[in-house]
Amino acid sequence: MSKTIEKKAFLDRVSRDVPGYAEILSLFRELYLFIDGKEGETGISFAPPPGHNAERVSGGFPLLTRECMRIDNEAAARFLAGVIDVLLQVGREGGEGLAAMQQAVAGRRFDLPWLFGACLHRERKELDEAAAAVGVSPPLLEFVLETGLRTALESFVATLAPASFEGWQEGYCPVCGSRAGMAELAGDEGKRLLACSTCSFTWPFPRITCPYCGNKEPDSLSYFEAGEGPTRVDVCCKCSRYLKTRDSRKGHGDVPLEAEDLATIHLDLLAAREGFERGK
């Protein structure tokens, strides 16, 4: 079973067990169904320069830069068109914007190498300008682009040896530079691993440290739980950010963290209600 189908299978199970989640997760379930078998058809590939990874790790610089990306415009446009079709079929909102985006992709009005590079480096101004040029909302354009980018990055990450990033001490991803999207406590000793919000790469990180502001004071680091699931919310009272953390010793160790994240939206709502925002 592919990792993509593993994600869909878990969301299918959650939708059956918790009917209130069925509608929320339907879009992602259909996206995973579309992506399965097309992971190598995004039109995006990566070619980092050989021999410089140790230097970048020691300097705190992520492996990938805009210059490492290779974009096949025709293949990328086909993949994005498929993503937009799924959103049009399943989504309840944004139809007008999606139709405009569909036309822009078909008419090759987007500079895809530039936009994927902007996504990789989180350059919001460039994305905002591209969205305004075709009359779509920036979050919608970013979601579509990131679906392709995330799919390509996950395939690339699968080829990397985690040992090549040994010594990485930052709270952001050593591969693509994105923030940590979730954390996991794994193994008998509950070793803490951060998981990238974009490429899903995981790396070890101290348990008593906020990955967003570096706070190490135990009195201002806490967590709360809701229900009996394996996922909790770690919070930092200094920067008011939170990070959902799955204790795999309690279950779901075989579930991709991206799917776990989607299936625990209620924890995001609770954290926001308490005045915390997601780390970024």
Which DSSP state fits 21?
G
pLDDT of residue 55: 82
Per-residue pLDDT, averaged over 25-46, amounts to 97
pLDDT of residue 1: 79
The pTM (predicted TM-score) of the whole model is 0.93
Tens digit of each residue's pLDDT (9 = 90 or more) over 152-172: 999 999 999 888 899 899 999
Per-residue pLDDT, averaged over 68-81, amounts to 97
Tens digit of each residue's pLDDT (9 = 90 or more) over 82-120: 999 999 998 777 788 899 999 999 999 999 999 999 999
- CB-based contact 155:199 (threshold 8 Å): no
Question: What's the chain's length in residues?
Answer: 280
* Percentage of the chain exceeding pLDDT 70: 99
| 41-45, 105-109, 145-149: the lowest-pLDDT one | 105-109
Tens digit of each residue's pLDDT (9 = 90 or more) over 205-259: 999 999 999 999 999 999 999 888 899 999 999 999 999 999 999 999 999 999 9
pLDDT of residue 213: 95
Q: pLDDT band at residue 52, thresholds of 50, 70 and 90?
A: low
Candidates 67, 187, 161; CA nearest to 116 is: 67
Q: pLDDT band at residue 141, thresholds of 50, 70 and 90?
A: very high
DSSP 99-117: HHHHHHHHTT-S-HHHHHH
Per-residue pLDDT, averaged over 128-147, amounts to 94
What mean pLDDT is reported for the chain?
A: 93
Q: How far is CA 126 from CA 65, 119, 132, 166, in A?
A: 16, 9, 10, 33
Inform me whether the pLDDT recorded for 65 exceeds 80: yes
pLDDT of residue 147: 97
What is the C-alpha separation between 125 and 123, in angstroms, rounded? 6
pLDDT of residue 109: 92
What is the C-alpha separation between 255 and 276, in angstroms, rounded? 26
Based on DSSP, count helices (H) and strands (E) in the chain, helices before strands: 10, 9
Inform me whether the pLDDT recorded for 73 exceeds 80: yes
Domains of the chain: 38-157 (no CATH), 162-278 (3.90.1670.10)
Token duo for residue 140? 């919608």
pLDDT of residue 280: 74
Single-letter amino acid, residue 64: L
Residues paired with 241 in a beta bridge: 236, 277
